[in-house]
């Protein structure tokens, strides 16, 4: 456990907590977290996750923009439902992207666990896209991914990061519950109930 990992954990917890509360500042706080983790993952040869963190830095800008425009109620973004057809397209893109990245990492780098790392990376991008679009389903995907990441980080001897991701599972469950409650409230308000 390094001081860098401790600081990265702090910023990650703050970013997810702000996301669960639908506060737009989650995006700039998360930029700091992902840049710190890019360095950490490079150091332990999880190259797909390192690249993911760099992509996350760009996606944070997209999320900030999406959450800064459009439907906002009482300072919080409006929760949306994921259209099933879009869900299937994105999940298929996650499988294809994960397989392609895994092949590259397997054949051209000394990456540790290139296939698993690449699949988790690809599906993390899907979950991030869903979160930026305010889809409640993003939390379900994060629960699955974060649970898988716990095992990966324990295997790579990143205990603090594994504990962070175990906490992310709990925070994602909390976020799902909060967003579901708010979504139902939104629907009642639309119906005039």
Q: Which two tokens stand for residue 72?
A: 């906002």
Tens digits of per-residue pLDDT, 28-67? 999 999 999 999 999 998 898 999 899 989 988 888 887 7
**Is the pLDDT reported for residue 97 higher than 80?**
yes
CB 53 within 8 A of CB 37: yes
Which pLDDT band holds residue 21 (cuts at 50, 70, 90)?
Answer: confident
- Supply the range of the domain harboring residue 143: 3-190
**Is the pLDDT reported for residue 7 higher than 70?**
yes
- pLDDT-above-70 percentage for the chain: 96
* Helix ranges restricted to H, the chain: 3-20, 26-43, 47-68, 84-108, 114-132, 137-155, 159-190
Q: What's this model's pTM, rounded to 2 decimal places?
A: 0.82
pLDDT at residue 115, as a whole number: 96
CB 105 within 8 A of CB 117: yes
CB 37 within 8 A of CB 108: no
Domain count, the chain: 1
pLDDT at residue 37, as a whole number: 94
Distances (CA, A) of 33 to 11, 13, 26: 5, 9, 11
């Amino acid at each position: 456990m390094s001081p860098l990992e401790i600081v990265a954990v702090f910023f990650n917890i703050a970013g997810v907590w702000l996301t669960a509360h639908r506060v737009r500042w989650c995006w700039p706080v998360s930029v700091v977290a992902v840049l710190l983790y890019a360095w950490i993952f490079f150091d332990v040869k999880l190259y797909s996750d390192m690249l993911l963190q760099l992509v996350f830095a760009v996606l944070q800008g997209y999320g900030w923009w999406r959450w800064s425009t459009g439907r906002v109620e009482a300072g919080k973004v409006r929760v949306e439902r994921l259209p099933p057809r879009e869900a299937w397209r994105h999940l298929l893109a996650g499988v294809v992207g994960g397989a392609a990245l895994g092949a590259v990492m397997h054949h051209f780098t000394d990456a540790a666990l290139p296939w698993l790392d690449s699949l988790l990376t690809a599906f993390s991008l899907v979950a991030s896209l869903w979160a930026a679009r305010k889809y409640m389903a993003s939390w379900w995907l994060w629960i699955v991914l974060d649970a898988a990441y716990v095992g990966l980080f324990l295997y790579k001897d990143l205990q603090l990061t594994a504990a962070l991701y175990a906490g992310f599972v709990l925070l994602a469950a909390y976020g799902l519950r909060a967003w579901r409650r708010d979504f139902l409230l939104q629907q009642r308000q639309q119906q005039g109930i």
